Amino acid sequence: MSEVFNGLPAPWTVRYSKSKKREYFFNPETKASQWEEPEGTDHGLLKQYLAEHPLRVRCLHILCKHSGSRRPASHRSEHITISKAEAIDELQELQKRLESGESFESLAKERSDCSSYKRGGDLGFFGKGEMQSSFEKAAFALKVGETSGIVETESGVHLIKRVQ
Ligand SMILES: O=C(CCc1ccccc1)N[C@H](Cc1nc2ccccc2[nH]1)C(=O)O
């Protein structure tokens, strides 16, 4: 594991509490968790780290399910039978429409197989550990305003736009 300069004394890490809507500190060795910064924290370095490594992101996404999806059904179709290759082709068409200026939200409402389509694909804020790992990895790699390439999960294939 490469050394992480987060301003915290090793091996402390910082996590996000969804219920309390704030960060907390966790020691993976002792399993201790606490609200206060651990003794010896470099507050300035921690703040800089958090600016560059968000604990949570807010994303929109467009999901195209296919016959191999974990749940091949949605509001659009009780029984989704298109192949993964066809689903990827559909996302590629949507990528072209995004590039020609159509809004992500309007395309999510038109085509996404996720229940979030009603809100233009908005998943709200999520932290690490909440979404399937390939989705999380892609989402946390995006800058605010950026859209991913095609991302595969057990649910199907996605386009992801980070908005916060
Ligand atoms: O899991 C859900 C609900 C996701 C959601 C989160 C927060 C707000 C609204 C929706 N829907 C699945 C499809 C699906 N699979 C996903 C995998 C990663 C992110 C979003 C996803 N959406 C399905 O419908 O099969």
Question: Model ipTM?
Answer: 0.94
Instruction: Report the catalytic residues.
Output: 61, 114, 132, 155, 158
**Residue 138 beta carbon below 6 angstroms from any ligand 1 atom:** no
End-to-end CA distance of the chain: 28
For 86, residues 6+ apart whose C-beta sits below 8 A from its C-beta are: 66
Strand 156-162 versus strand 32-34 pairing type: unpaired
The predicted model gives 105-120 an average pLDDT of 98
**Using CA positions, which residue lies closest to atom 14 of ligand 1?**
114
Amino acid identity, residue 147? T
Domains of the chain: 13-52 (no CATH), 56-162 (3.10.50.40)
CB 143 within 8 A of CB 133: no
Averaged pLDDT of the chain: 95
Q: What is the DSSP letter of 106?
A: H
pLDDT of 2 reads 54
Separation of CA 103 and ligand 1 centre (Å): 20
Whole-model pTM?
A: 0.89
CB 107 within 8 A of CB 147: no
Instruction: Summarize pLDDT for 13-35 with one digit per residue, the tens.
Output: 999 998 898 999 999 999 999 99
Strand partners, 41: none
**Using CA positions, which residue lies closest to atom 13 of ligand 1?**
114
Separation of CA 116 and ligand 1 centre (Å): 7
CB 13 within 8 A of CB 28: yes
The predicted model gives 115-127 an average pLDDT of 97
Give the mutation target among 57, 112, 115 for probing the ligand 1 site: most ligand atoms within 8 A of CB.
Answer: 115
**Residue 116 beta carbon below 6 angstroms from any ligand 1 atom:** yes
Q: How many CB atoms lie within 10 A of CB 157?
A: 21
